[in-house]
Amino acid sequence: MNKSLLMAAVIAAVALAACGKKEEAAAVVAPAADAAASMAAPAASAVADAAASAAGTVADAASGAAAAVADAASAAVDAAASK
């Protein structure tokens, strides 16, 4: 009877130890998720900055193209007037 009681205690201890390890693994995942989230914020900010910079560059290019079209139209009007 003592052996049966001892075996039951050992099995219960192993079962509790196994359950305890699962909870620790879940606790380790949470800090990893927090770290990933904290790293994602600066990356998103960098993407937003790059998009804003690209939008500014496109706006500058469009402005330059519009000025070139206006200059070409003015030159065409001047050429037509001089004939």
pLDDT at 67: 82
**Rounded Cα gap, residues 37 and 31, in angstroms:** 10
pLDDT for 57 equals 84
Greater pLDDT, 79 or 36: 79
Give the pLDDT confidence of 43-74 residue by residue, as tens digits. 677 777 788 888 888 788 888 888 888 888 88
The residue extents of the domains of the chain are: 29-82
